[in-house]
């Protein structure tokens, strides 16, 4: 035990040369100590089959190093983590710097649960931000207009960046969500009633469910998310988006990526991050690394208890955050 403490302290002395394996080990230990806290999502019935005690975590550095602990190579349902990629791709495909997109969706924290309907009426069908379900539906709609295959665009990007050709939508999860998708259907119809969807509601919902139901591992997600740590540059060295756009995506992740717990997440973790009800959280250390943690038990806001704890431990021990 004492030996381990010494290692951790050595790993974090200056924040410049981090000992990622030691940090990951410490983060895993903290996450595993949360066993029993939180609940696996079951409002999408097929998600309830996840092993509540699973835990994995991975880091991909901007220099191409890759580290992982626990179940870091096990695929899980990425759910709302996919919204980070749909937003990035919609912006990358936009020819106007995203101006049209940002007219259809705001970029302010909602202070409401991710599936809330209440703000949409008073705000005339313009969702608060791209990460609550309402906003993500608008982003999926615009990505569909821009590419003709919104979920395919997300899937292809994830496959390309992760180098994992097997990465795919889990059709059982997608069908389960569609079958129980009354809230998302209500949101989409309400947005459409305000003229803020360009495609048929059914098309938007199908693509939204399909990108949420992608199964990917912490390994896949850190590689796919590392363009945000490289200020917009993909794993093959080509640019997906400008440095300024990458800053904007990171800013919206920080303020809105964990819903009505975004303040608490910034307070504890201090990184831009996106959570999903499958229990994954993908976070960004700009200029340094992408980090993903996964554990299926969720807190009240729909964020993974184990993943938040692991990321909190990592940034606290290393002293590395955006602050
Ligand atoms: O639309 C939904 O409810 C899910 N497909 C995604 C929600 C989600 O992951 C929220 N994140 N914590």
pLDDT for position 149: 98
CA distances from residue 40 to 36, 111, 261, 319 in whole angstroms, order as listed: 10, 22, 18, 30
Residue for token pair 């035990």:
1
What DSSP string runs through 200-250? -HHHHHHHHHHHHTEEE-HHHHHHHHHHHHTTTB-TTS-BSS-HHHHHHHH
Phi-psi category of residue 303: left, alpha or beta, with phi > 0 → left and psi -120 to 50 → alpha: beta
Does 258 contact ligand 1 (Cβ within 6 A)?
Answer: no
Residue 33's CB is within 10 A of a number of other CB atoms, namely 12
pLDDT band at 226 (very low <50, low <70, confident <90, very high): very high
17-60: pLDDT as tens digits: 789 999 999 999 999 999 999 999 999 999 999 999 999 999 99
Q: Among residues of the chain, what percentage have pLDDT more than 70?
A: 95
Q: Is 43 in the active site?
A: no
Residue 145's CB is within 10 A of a number of other CB atoms, namely 15
Nearest protein CA to atom 2 of ligand 1, as residue: 133
Q: Three-state DSSP class for 187?
A: helix
Catalytic entry in 12, 59, 80, 204: 80
Does 313 contact ligand 1 (Cβ within 6 A)?
Answer: no
Ligand 1 centre distance from Cα of residue 47 (Å): 11
177-205: pLDDT as tens digits: 999 999 999 999 999 999 999 999 999 99
pLDDT for position 7: 53
Does 302 contact ligand 1 (Cβ within 6 A)?
Answer: yes
Instruction: Identify the H or E element spanning 153.
Output: helix 150-162
Backbone angles phi, psi at 115, to 5 degrees: -110, 20
**240: pLDDT strictly greater than 90:** yes
**14: pLDDT strictly greater than 90:** no
pLDDT for position 17: 75
Q: Say how far apart CA 255 and CA 208 lie, in whole Å.
A: 22
Ligand 1 centre distance from Cα of residue 285 (Å): 24
Ligand 1 centre distance from Cα of residue 50 (Å): 15
pLDDT for position 21: 97
Q: Among residues of the chain, what percentage have pLDDT more than 90?
A: 93
- Cβ 229 vs Cβ 240: under 8 Å: no
Does 104 contact ligand 1 (Cβ within 6 A)?
Answer: no
285-319: pLDDT as tens digits: 999 999 999 999 999 999 999 999 999 999 999 99
Q: What is the mean pLDDT of the chain?
A: 95
pLDDT band at 11 (very low <50, low <70, confident <90, very high): low
Q: Say how far apart CA 225 and CA 237 lie, in whole Å.
A: 14
**CB crowding 240-260: b at 16 or more within 10 Å, else e:** bbeeebbbbbbebbbbbbbbb
112-156: pLDDT as tens digits: 999 999 999 999 999 999 999 999 999 999 999 999 999 999 999
Q: Is the pTM of this model over 0.75?
A: yes
What DSSP string runs through 288-304? TEEEEEE-SEE-TTS-B
């Amino acid at each position: 035990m004492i030996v381990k403490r010494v290692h951790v302290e050595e790993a974090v002395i200056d924040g410049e040369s981090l000992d990622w394996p030691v940090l990951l080990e410490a983060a895993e230990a903290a996450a595993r100590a949360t066993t029993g806290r939180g609940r696996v999502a079951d409002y999408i019935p097929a998600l309830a089959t996840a092993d509540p005690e699973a835990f994995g975590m991975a880091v991909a550095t901007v220099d191409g190093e890759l580290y992982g602990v626990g179940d870091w190579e096990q695929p899980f349902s990425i759910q709302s983590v996919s919204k980070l990629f749909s937003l990035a791709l919609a912006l990358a495909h936009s020819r106007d710097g995203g101006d049209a997109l940002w007219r259809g969706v705001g970029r302010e924290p909602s202070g409401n649960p991710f599936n809330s309907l209440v703000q949409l009426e008073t705000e005339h069908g313009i969702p608060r931000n791209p990460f609550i379900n309402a906003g993500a539906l608008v982003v999926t709609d615009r990505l569909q207009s821009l590419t003709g295959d919104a979920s395919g665009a997300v899937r292809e990007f994830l496959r390309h960046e992760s180098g994992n050709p097997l990465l795919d939508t889990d059709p059982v999860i997608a069908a389960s969500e569609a079958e129980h998708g009354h809230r998302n259907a209500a949101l989409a119809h309400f947005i459409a009633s305000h003229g803020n969807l360009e495609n048929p509601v059914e098309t938007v919902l199908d693509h939204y469910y399909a990108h949420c139901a992608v199964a990917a591992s912490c390994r896949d997600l850190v590689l796919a998310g590392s363009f945000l740590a490289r200020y917009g540059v993909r794993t093959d060295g080509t640019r997906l988006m400008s440095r300024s756009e990458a800053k904007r995506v990171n800013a919206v992740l920080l303020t809105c990526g964990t819903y009505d717990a975004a303040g608490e997440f910034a307070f504890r973790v201090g990184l831009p991050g996106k959570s999903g009800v499958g229990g994954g959280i993908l976070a960004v250390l700009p200029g340094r690394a992408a980090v993903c943690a996964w554990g299926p038990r969720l807190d009240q806001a729909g964020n993974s208890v184990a993943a938040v704890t692991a990321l909190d431990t990592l940034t606290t021990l290393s002293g590395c955050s955006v602050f």
